[in-house]
Amino acid sequence: MNKSELIQAMATEAELTKAQASAAVDAFEVVITRALSEGTSVALVGFGTFSIGERQARTGRNPKTGEELKIPAARVPKFKAGKTLKDAVQ
């Protein structure tokens, strides 16, 4: 499912116009992104938790040349599915 399909599904499910559903999806993206950039996790009970993880610096290897590369430390977004979502998928 891509973004336009998600918007269509949300519009149908919530009986919204596509414009309203699109605005809701865009707002959701903005709020989650802002919270994560500020270092705050977002927990949606039953659905899951968006958080920030720390990836340590490491040495990698260029697969084409075999040359060693230094990969810097990074903050990365993470998502952990909640019990209700896990149960629905199984």
Going from N- to C-terminal start, the domains of the chain cover 1-40, 42-90
- Can you tell me the distance from the alpha carbon of 89 to that of 40, in angstroms, rounded to the nearest whole number? 27
Identify the pLDDT of residue 18.
96
In this prediction, residues 71-75 reach a mean pLDDT of 95
**Candidates 3.40.50.360, 2.60.40.1930, 3.10.28.10, 4.10.520.10; CATH matching 42-90:** 4.10.520.10
Task: Encode pLDDT of 18-66 as tens digits.
Answer: 999 999 999 999 999 999 999 999 999 999 999 999 999 999 999 999 9
Q: Please give the pLDDT value at position 2.
A: 96
What's the confidence (pLDDT) of residue 60? 94
What's residue 81's pLDDT? 96
DSSP secondary structure, 62-85, as one string: -TTT--EEEEPPEEEEEEEE-HHH
